[in-house]
Amino acid sequence: MISDLEFEKAVAELEGKAAELRAMAIENEEVNLTKEADDLDKKAKSTLADLYKNLTPWRKCQVARHPMRPHCLAYVDALFAEFMPLAGDRNFAEDNAVIGGLARFNDRPIMVIGHEKGHDTQSRLHRNFGMARPEGYRKAVRLMDLADRFGLPVVTLVDTAGAFPGKGAEERGQSEAIARSTEKCLQIKTPLVSVIIGEGGSGGAVAFATADRLLMLEHSVYSVISPEGCASILWKDAAKMREAAEALHLTAQDMLKLGIADMVIPENSGGAHRHRDETIAAVGAAIEAQLQELEKIEPNKLLQSRRKRFLDMGAKRL
């Protein structure tokens, strides 16, 4: 059962009417309403396709945050074999908002790191809604060091509203941990591919996404702050999040135009939450294509190219 977003109400009504007609036909076998129900299903599908062709930035934010959208563990389970999770930052604690470990990707040894939001109330609380604490970023630094030592490519799966803003996290050096993780991304000499699969929020996302290649799903977003946070600061009114979303240029399409993202991975009509298997397969194919290119580059040149990529950012304008 897919929970519908606010702007999908018209689709939900059509699907509901189709279900009612089929229920009536089951109760009364003399009534044949199959054609009418099928027509409503077709209209619902067409309406959904039209909606997703012209999503506003704010609606893309809603889709990127959809609770049934596949999260990090769904990709790890489907794409990476022999996944061996590695825990702890060897300093303070384990951070369950960040998962990482050794795995095989298309029979290639690899290090995978990502944010995990959880899929129900219990797991979301356990994962802190994908908002990492300093320990999560320090764990990522440790795993990237390990990958660099053994020449393993690194794949990061980004899906976070941002780093956890709690008092304890700040006391333990949240900003320093994010900076160290970003720095480590710019130091390792192995291929680094990052995919934004949902939200890419603030420094919490940059810490994993400072990569050779940045891929974004079609309805993912990447921004320095959430639209609600931006609206609260600029207009002192969080209700102006729609205007903020427009101003932030946070969509995957905007990121591609600005030269921040290298590729937008298409999602089938209705978003990744309606087409989980197809979306995950498309992400896997995109990662494989990028790794094949990057593995041909000599390590020192790869490092120089990655650093130049970020030094050159800002030259393009919308």
Helix (H) or strand (E) holding 147: helix 134-150
CA dihedral angle for residue 5, residue 11, residue 14, residue 17, rounded to 10 degrees: -20
DSSP 8-state assignment for residue 294: H
The whole-angstrom separation of Cα 278 and Cα 218 is: 13
Which tokens belong to 194?
Answer: 């990052």
DSSP, collapsed to helix, strand or coil, labels residue 289 as helix
81-85 vs 98-105, strand pairing mode? antiparallel
- Tell me which residue has tokens 């990655």: 306
Summarised one tens digit per residue, pLDDT across range 5-31 is 888 888 888 878 888 777 876 777 666
Residues contacting residue 185 through CB under 8 Å, at least 6 positions apart: 144, 192, 207, 208, 209, 210, 211, 306
State residue 200's pLDDT score.
Answer: 93
* Strands annotated E in 87-166: 98-105, 108-115, 154-160
Summarised one tens digit per residue, pLDDT across range 169-221 is 999 999 999 999 999 999 999 999 999 999 999 889 999 999 999 999 999 99
pLDDT of 113 over the 90 cut: yes
State residue 314's pLDDT score.
Answer: 72
Contact predicate 197/157, CB 8 Å: yes
Phi, then psi, of 159 in degrees rounded to 5 = -160, 85
DSSP, collapsed to helix, strand or coil, labels residue 181 as helix
Return the closest-CA partner of residue 97 out of 72, 66, 122, 128. 128
Summarised one tens digit per residue, pLDDT across range 249-264 is 999 999 999 999 999 9
pTM of the model: 0.90
Q: Residue 242 burial (CB < 10 Å; 0-12/13-18/19+)? A: middle
Return the closest-CA partner of residue 210 out of 225, 188, 230. 188
DSSP 8-state assignment for residue 111: E
Summarised one tens digit per residue, pLDDT across range 44-86 is 888 888 889 889 999 999 999 999 999 999 999 999 999 999 9
- Tell me which residue has tokens 């609770």: 67
Q: What percentage of the chain exceeds 70 in pLDDT?
A: 96
